[in-house]
Amino acid sequence: MECADDIHHWARQIVFLVDRPRYPDFIGLCPKCGEPIYSYTSTGEITCMCGGILDVAVLKASCVEMLEREYFTRRELRSYLTERGVPRRTQNRWLNEISSVDYGGRSYWLMGDVVEKLRERLRGCNA
């Protein structure tokens, strides 16, 4: 009987490890208070801790718009760096060194971080 209890206990532990609960997705920041908003769905309304009622789809769209204005995809950055004569191997290294933001299944890099790497490279060439 004790062996059956042990098997039952370990089986429950395995199920807990394998069937982890789904975590909500980051949708954006509340425009009223700046608090991060998370949701399990991409539609509908959600109430922020400050009391603001937010449309999930609208908030997500504004977050993507902000990302596309300040952050860039790998393809966009490769084009930018190639135009400036940065070798592909250096581009790969830089994009691995710079932290990216993952949102909606895509990775984005802050242009300012990439420009700083470019400046460091130019300073090294002019030294």
Q: For 105-116, how does the pLDDT look when each residue is reduced to its tens digit (9 = 90+)?
A: 888 898 888 888
Q: Which two tokens stand for residue 87?
A: 């070798």
Q: How many angstroms separate the CA atoms of 64 and 27, rounded?
A: 9
Predicted TM-score of the model (pTM): 0.51
pLDDT of residue 19: 67
pLDDT of residue 97: 93
Q: How many angstroms separate the CA atoms of 71 and 68, rounded?
A: 5
**Tens-place pLDDT, residues 52-73:** 999 999 998 888 787 767 788 8
pLDDT of residue 54: 93
Those residues of the chain that have pLDDT short of 50 are 127
pLDDT of residue 89: 95
Q: What angle do CA 56, 72, 30 make, to 5 degrees?
A: 25
Q: How many angstroms separate the CA atoms of 78 and 72, rounded?
A: 10
